[in-house]
Amino acid sequence: MSADDERKEPAASELLAAALGKAAERSGLDPRTAQSTGHVVWHAMGGWRGIAESVLPSLAFLVVYTVTTQLVLSLAISLGLAVVFTVIRLAMRQPAAAALGGLVATAIAAALALWTGRAQDNFVWGFLTNGAYGSVLLVSALVGWPLIGVAVGWLMNDGTAWRADRRKRRVFFWITIAWAALFGARLAVELPLYFAGNVTALGTLKLLMGLPLFAPLVAVTWLGARALYPKSAGLDSDATPADASDE
Protein backbone atom coordinates (compact mmCIF):
# COMPACT_ATOMS: atom_id res chain seq x y z
CA MET A 1 0.00 0.00 0.00
CA SER A 2 1.35 3.38 -1.01
CA ALA A 3 1.63 6.43 1.21
CA ASP A 4 -1.05 8.08 -0.91
CA ASP A 5 -3.44 5.21 -0.20
CA GLU A 6 -2.75 5.44 3.53
CA ARG A 7 -3.59 9.13 3.45
CA LYS A 8 -6.83 8.45 1.59
CA GLU A 9 -8.17 5.86 4.06
CA PRO A 10 -8.54 8.22 7.05
CA ALA A 11 -10.21 10.75 4.77
CA ALA A 12 -12.74 8.12 3.66
CA SER A 13 -13.45 7.03 7.23
CA GLU A 14 -13.86 10.64 8.34
CA LEU A 15 -16.26 11.25 5.47
CA LEU A 16 -18.35 8.26 6.52
CA ALA A 17 -18.31 9.35 10.16
CA ALA A 18 -19.36 12.87 9.22
CA ALA A 19 -22.21 11.60 7.04
CA LEU A 20 -23.50 9.33 9.79
CA GLY A 21 -23.07 11.99 12.45
CA LYS A 22 -24.90 14.62 10.46
CA ALA A 23 -27.73 12.19 9.73
CA ALA A 24 -28.04 11.46 13.45
CA GLU A 25 -27.91 15.17 14.23
CA ARG A 26 -30.70 15.94 11.75
CA SER A 27 -32.77 13.16 13.31
CA GLY A 28 -32.34 14.71 16.75
CA LEU A 29 -30.06 11.96 18.05
CA ASP A 30 -27.35 14.29 19.29
CA PRO A 31 -25.90 13.42 22.74
CA ARG A 32 -24.52 16.97 23.03
CA THR A 33 -27.99 18.42 23.54
CA ALA A 34 -29.72 18.76 26.92
CA GLN A 35 -33.08 17.39 25.79
CA SER A 36 -35.10 14.73 27.57
CA THR A 37 -35.26 11.21 26.17
CA GLY A 38 -38.92 11.70 25.32
CA HIS A 39 -38.13 14.86 23.39
CA VAL A 40 -35.38 13.12 21.44
CA VAL A 41 -37.55 10.14 20.53
CA TRP A 42 -40.40 12.42 19.48
CA HIS A 43 -38.06 14.52 17.34
CA ALA A 44 -36.52 11.41 15.76
CA MET A 45 -40.00 10.26 14.72
CA GLY A 46 -40.69 13.70 13.25
CA GLY A 47 -43.51 14.63 15.62
CA TRP A 48 -47.13 14.16 14.61
CA ARG A 49 -46.40 15.07 10.99
CA GLY A 50 -43.52 12.63 10.73
CA ILE A 51 -45.66 9.86 12.21
CA ALA A 52 -48.46 10.63 9.77
CA GLU A 53 -46.05 10.64 6.81
CA SER A 54 -44.62 7.32 7.93
CA VAL A 55 -47.84 5.52 8.81
CA LEU A 56 -50.76 6.84 6.74
CA PRO A 57 -49.67 5.77 3.21
CA SER A 58 -49.12 2.18 4.37
CA LEU A 59 -52.26 2.23 6.50
CA ALA A 60 -54.32 3.55 3.59
CA PHE A 61 -53.04 0.80 1.30
CA LEU A 62 -53.81 -1.84 3.92
CA VAL A 63 -57.35 -0.63 4.67
CA VAL A 64 -58.38 0.04 1.08
CA TYR A 65 -56.98 -3.23 -0.26
CA THR A 66 -58.49 -5.26 2.58
CA VAL A 67 -61.91 -3.74 1.96
CA THR A 68 -61.92 -3.61 -1.85
CA THR A 69 -59.11 -5.95 -3.05
CA GLN A 70 -58.53 -3.33 -5.76
CA LEU A 71 -54.77 -3.07 -6.21
CA VAL A 72 -54.64 0.01 -8.44
CA LEU A 73 -57.03 1.98 -6.22
CA SER A 74 -55.11 1.03 -3.08
CA LEU A 75 -51.78 2.02 -4.58
CA ALA A 76 -53.18 5.27 -5.97
CA ILE A 77 -54.51 6.38 -2.59
CA SER A 78 -51.29 5.39 -0.82
CA LEU A 79 -49.11 7.21 -3.34
CA GLY A 80 -51.48 10.18 -3.38
CA LEU A 81 -51.09 10.64 0.38
CA ALA A 82 -47.29 10.56 0.04
CA VAL A 83 -47.51 13.23 -2.67
CA VAL A 84 -49.77 15.41 -0.52
CA PHE A 85 -47.38 15.25 2.45
CA THR A 86 -44.44 16.19 0.24
CA VAL A 87 -46.30 19.08 -1.41
CA ILE A 88 -47.36 20.45 2.00
CA ARG A 89 -43.77 20.48 3.23
CA LEU A 90 -42.55 22.14 0.05
CA ALA A 91 -45.33 24.71 0.16
CA MET A 92 -44.50 25.56 3.77
CA ARG A 93 -40.80 25.68 2.87
CA GLN A 94 -39.99 23.09 5.50
CA PRO A 95 -37.30 20.38 5.19
CA ALA A 96 -38.84 17.81 2.87
CA ALA A 97 -36.12 15.17 2.83
CA ALA A 98 -38.08 12.65 4.93
CA ALA A 99 -41.29 13.21 2.98
CA LEU A 100 -39.46 12.98 -0.34
CA GLY A 101 -37.76 9.78 0.82
CA GLY A 102 -41.13 8.34 1.77
CA LEU A 103 -42.60 9.41 -1.56
CA VAL A 104 -39.80 7.76 -3.53
CA ALA A 105 -40.08 4.56 -1.48
CA THR A 106 -43.86 4.49 -1.90
CA ALA A 107 -43.55 5.08 -5.65
CA ILE A 108 -40.97 2.30 -6.09
CA ALA A 109 -43.07 -0.12 -4.05
CA ALA A 110 -46.19 0.76 -6.04
CA ALA A 111 -44.34 0.33 -9.34
CA LEU A 112 -43.21 -3.15 -8.33
CA ALA A 113 -46.74 -4.16 -7.36
CA LEU A 114 -48.21 -2.76 -10.59
CA TRP A 115 -45.54 -4.51 -12.65
CA THR A 116 -46.27 -7.92 -11.16
CA GLY A 117 -49.96 -7.41 -10.45
CA ARG A 118 -49.51 -8.84 -6.95
CA ALA A 119 -50.44 -6.77 -3.91
CA GLN A 120 -47.78 -8.40 -1.71
CA ASP A 121 -45.08 -7.00 -3.98
CA ASN A 122 -45.88 -3.56 -2.60
CA PHE A 123 -43.74 -4.66 0.36
CA VAL A 124 -40.70 -5.90 -1.59
CA TRP A 125 -38.87 -2.56 -1.45
CA GLY A 126 -39.23 -2.60 2.32
CA PHE A 127 -37.68 -6.05 2.45
CA LEU A 128 -34.73 -4.86 0.39
CA THR A 129 -34.08 -1.80 2.54
CA ASN A 130 -34.46 -3.74 5.79
CA GLY A 131 -32.06 -6.37 4.50
CA ALA A 132 -29.53 -3.76 3.39
CA TYR A 133 -29.65 -1.76 6.63
CA GLY A 134 -29.54 -4.85 8.80
CA SER A 135 -26.63 -6.39 6.90
CA VAL A 136 -24.53 -3.23 6.93
CA LEU A 137 -25.12 -2.70 10.65
CA LEU A 138 -24.36 -6.32 11.49
CA VAL A 139 -21.16 -6.39 9.45
CA SER A 140 -19.99 -3.08 10.91
CA ALA A 141 -20.39 -4.46 14.44
CA LEU A 142 -18.70 -7.77 13.67
CA VAL A 143 -15.64 -6.10 12.11
CA GLY A 144 -15.20 -3.82 15.12
CA TRP A 145 -16.55 -0.61 13.62
CA PRO A 146 -20.19 -0.46 14.82
CA LEU A 147 -21.84 2.35 12.93
CA ILE A 148 -23.57 3.72 16.02
CA GLY A 149 -20.14 4.27 17.55
CA VAL A 150 -18.82 5.86 14.37
CA ALA A 151 -21.68 8.37 14.35
CA VAL A 152 -21.54 9.18 18.07
CA GLY A 153 -17.75 9.45 17.96
CA TRP A 154 -18.00 12.11 15.28
CA LEU A 155 -20.74 14.01 17.09
CA MET A 156 -18.81 14.04 20.38
CA ASN A 157 -15.50 15.01 18.74
CA ASP A 158 -14.20 11.66 19.97
CA GLY A 159 -13.15 10.54 16.52
CA THR A 160 -12.21 6.87 16.76
CA ALA A 161 -10.83 7.14 20.29
CA TRP A 162 -13.92 5.35 21.61
CA ARG A 163 -12.54 2.12 20.12
CA ALA A 164 -9.76 2.16 22.73
CA ASP A 165 -12.35 2.27 25.53
CA ARG A 166 -13.65 -1.24 26.20
CA ARG A 167 -16.91 0.03 27.74
CA LYS A 168 -17.74 2.32 24.84
CA ARG A 169 -16.80 -0.31 22.31
CA ARG A 170 -19.03 -2.88 24.02
CA VAL A 171 -22.03 -0.54 24.33
CA PHE A 172 -21.82 0.61 20.72
CA PHE A 173 -21.42 -3.00 19.58
CA TRP A 174 -24.61 -4.15 21.29
CA ILE A 175 -26.65 -1.12 20.29
CA THR A 176 -25.62 -1.64 16.66
CA ILE A 177 -26.47 -5.34 16.98
CA ALA A 178 -29.88 -4.36 18.39
CA TRP A 179 -30.58 -2.19 15.34
CA ALA A 180 -29.47 -4.99 13.03
CA ALA A 181 -31.72 -7.39 14.94
CA LEU A 182 -34.69 -5.05 14.45
CA PHE A 183 -34.30 -5.11 10.69
CA GLY A 184 -33.68 -8.86 10.75
CA ALA A 185 -36.76 -9.49 12.89
CA ARG A 186 -38.92 -7.60 10.43
CA LEU A 187 -37.74 -9.85 7.62
CA ALA A 188 -38.12 -13.02 9.69
CA VAL A 189 -41.73 -12.20 10.54
CA GLU A 190 -42.88 -10.60 7.30
CA LEU A 191 -41.27 -12.78 4.62
CA PRO A 192 -43.33 -15.92 5.42
CA LEU A 193 -46.51 -13.84 5.10
CA TYR A 194 -45.25 -12.45 1.80
CA PHE A 195 -44.69 -15.90 0.35
CA ALA A 196 -48.08 -16.96 1.68
CA GLY A 197 -49.70 -13.99 -0.08
CA ASN A 198 -51.36 -12.80 3.15
CA VAL A 199 -51.45 -9.09 2.36
CA THR A 200 -53.63 -8.04 5.31
CA ALA A 201 -51.43 -9.74 7.92
CA LEU A 202 -48.29 -8.52 6.17
CA GLY A 203 -49.45 -4.91 6.12
CA THR A 204 -50.59 -5.06 9.73
CA LEU A 205 -47.29 -6.47 10.99
CA LYS A 206 -45.33 -3.96 8.94
CA LEU A 207 -47.08 -1.18 10.84
CA LEU A 208 -46.71 -2.89 14.22
CA MET A 209 -42.99 -3.51 13.65
CA GLY A 210 -42.39 0.02 12.44
CA LEU A 211 -42.61 2.99 14.81
CA PRO A 212 -43.65 0.90 17.86
CA LEU A 213 -40.25 -0.84 17.74
CA PHE A 214 -38.30 2.09 16.32
CA ALA A 215 -39.15 4.47 19.16
CA PRO A 216 -37.88 2.29 22.07
CA LEU A 217 -34.66 1.54 20.20
CA VAL A 218 -34.08 5.25 19.59
CA ALA A 219 -34.49 5.77 23.34
CA VAL A 220 -32.00 3.00 24.13
CA THR A 221 -29.50 4.45 21.66
CA TRP A 222 -29.86 7.94 23.12
CA LEU A 223 -29.57 6.77 26.74
CA GLY A 224 -26.55 4.64 25.90
CA ALA A 225 -24.74 7.54 24.26
CA ARG A 226 -25.52 9.89 27.14
CA ALA A 227 -24.31 7.35 29.67
CA LEU A 228 -20.99 7.10 27.86
CA TYR A 229 -20.57 10.88 27.59
CA PRO A 230 -22.20 12.18 30.80
CA LYS A 231 -20.37 15.52 30.92
CA SER A 232 -21.58 16.40 27.45
CA ALA A 233 -25.05 14.96 27.74
CA GLY A 234 -26.72 18.03 29.12
CA LEU A 235 -28.65 18.86 32.24
CA ASP A 236 -32.25 17.97 31.62
CA SER A 237 -33.09 14.42 32.63
CA ASP A 238 -36.45 15.02 34.29
CA ALA A 239 -38.37 16.59 31.43
CA THR A 240 -41.28 14.63 30.03
CA PRO A 241 -42.30 13.82 26.44
CA ALA A 242 -44.83 16.60 26.72
CA ASP A 243 -41.94 19.03 26.28
CA ALA A 244 -41.86 18.03 22.62
CA SER A 245 -45.58 17.96 22.00
CA ASP A 246 -45.61 21.18 20.01
CA GLU A 247 -42.94 20.17 17.52
Mean of the pLDDT values across residues 46-64? 90
Given a cut of 80, whether residue 32 has pLDDT beyond it is no
Confidence tier at 7 by pLDDT (50, 70, 90)? very low
d(CA 161, CA 147) in angstroms, rounded, equals 14
C-alpha to C-alpha distances, 169 to 19, 30, 126, 234, nearest whole angstrom: 20, 18, 30, 22
Predicted confidence band of residue 43 (pLDDT cuts 50, 70, 90): confident
Average pLDDT estimate for 62-87: 94
∠59-65-67 over CA atoms, to 5°?
100
Would you list the domain boundaries of the chain? 23-230
What pTM, to 2 d.p., does this model score?
Answer: 0.81
What pLDDT, in 10s, does the model give residues 93-142?
766 676 677 788 899 999 999 999 999 999 999 999 999 999 999 999 99
pLDDT band at 33 (very low <50, low <70, confident <90, very high): low
